[in-house]
Amino acid sequence: MRKLKDGTMVEELSQPITITINTKCPAKWILIDQETGEVYTPYPSTGTLQWKKIAEGNIEMIWK
């Protein structure tokens, strides 16, 4: 089990899974790790790098 930031306990799988987002507008998406609080935004290309971490001081900018 893993504990999220809000205290919720969630199951940890024995093997990793792949989660895919199909979109024509990657810039509208953000990914939030509810365990660590880290926030990511997608790279605008189709290369091997898919998500880049948003620096903690810049997170507020995504909601404006």
Over the stretch 33-59, which tens digit does the pLDDT of each residue have? 999 999 998 887 777 778 889 887 676
Query: Which pLDDT value is given to residue 20?
Result: 85
Does pLDDT of 62 surpass 90?
Answer: no
Query: Which pLDDT value is given to residue 34?
Result: 95
Average pLDDT of 1-30?
93
pLDDT band at 60; cut points 50, 70, 90: low
All structural domains of the chain with their residue ranges: 17-63
Task: Report the C-alpha gap between 11 and 25 in whole angstroms.
Answer: 31
50 vs 5 pLDDT, higher one: 5
In this structure, how many other beta carbons lie within 10 angstroms of the beta carbon of residue 28?
9
